[in-house]
Amino acid sequence: MKPKIGIIGDGNVGSALKRGLERAKYEVKNVGHDPKGVEETAAWGEVIILAVPFAALDDTLREMGKAAEGKTLIDVTNALAPDYSLALGCSTSGAEELQKKAPSAKVIKAFNTAFAAHMETGRVKNAAITLFVAGDDEEAKAMVLQMGRNLGFDPVDAGPLQNARWLETLGYFHIQLGYALKMGTEVEFKLIREAA
């Protein structure tokens, strides 16, 4: 049984994931910057994807209120400061800080190391992009790994939520490759490994 997915954010990421998840036969609703709609969408969703800017996470948590309690929260944000530096360094991560602020939620870090342009299909240049998924709740993580597979990604269990530190730095490096080093958004990560 596929969970109902509430997506907070209807920008590049939120709309791409909505299209892909609907194609994969999930029931999906998303919402932009509308506090009442955020609360309603979070209450409706069995799983919530946070596809808002890192700086909007506190507002979003407040607006969701009790609607997010006990649910899987998928954090796709890249923890960037306004000057595009890494906001939190490497001794914690946005996802770990989110977990502290929403202790009853099952926070999962995923999708932050891919560009929005490929999130609908999980593929680029005819190859499945690696989807790194980190989190402490094994059942929630297995559900997100399956969601990634259903979208078309090559999902990889990236371990506990603490590993979000490395996924967020990898997301930062991805932005460096795509924009600062001008490789463009066609560049994505692929983990070569033994077949599972």
Ligand X SMILES: NC(=O)c1ccc[n+]([C@@H]2O[C@H](COP(=O)([O-])OP(=O)(O)OC[C@H]3O[C@@H](n4cnc5c(N)ncnc54)[C@H](OP(=O)(O)O)[C@@H]3O)[C@@H](O)[C@H]2O)c1
Q: How far apart are the first and last CA of the chain?
A: 24
Residues 6+ apart with CB under 8 A from 85: none
What secondary structure does DSSP assign to 112-171, as a single string?
A: TTS-GGGTTTSEETTEEPEEEEEES-HHHHHHHHHHHHHHT-EEEE--SGGGHHHHHHHH
Judged by CB under 6 A, the residue of 43, 67, 88, 116 near ligand X is 116
Is residue 77 a contact point for ligand X (CB under 6 A)? Answer: yes
Residues in the interface with ligand X (CB under 6 A) total 23
51 or 145: whose CB is closer to ligand X?
A: 51
Contacts of residue 93, defined as CB under 8 A and 6 or more positions apart, other chains included, come to 79, 109, 161, 162, 164, 165, 167, 168
In the bound state, the residue with its beta carbon closest to ligand X is 11
Residue 10 in contact with ligand X, rule: CB under 6 A: yes
Q: Report which of 157, 161, 179 is spatially closest to residue 84, judged by C-alpha positions.
A: 179
Question: Which residue lies nearer to ligand X by CB, 7 or 140?
Answer: 7
Site string for ligand X, 25-64 (x = CB under 6 A): -------xx----x------------xxxx-x--xx----
Instruction: Pick between residue 119 and residue 140 the one whose CB is nearest to ligand X.
Output: 119
- Asked if 158 interacts with ligand X (CB under 6 A), we say no
Q: Which residues bind ligand X (CB under 6 A)?
A: 8-14, 32-33, 38, 51-54, 56, 59-60, 76-78, 112, 115-116
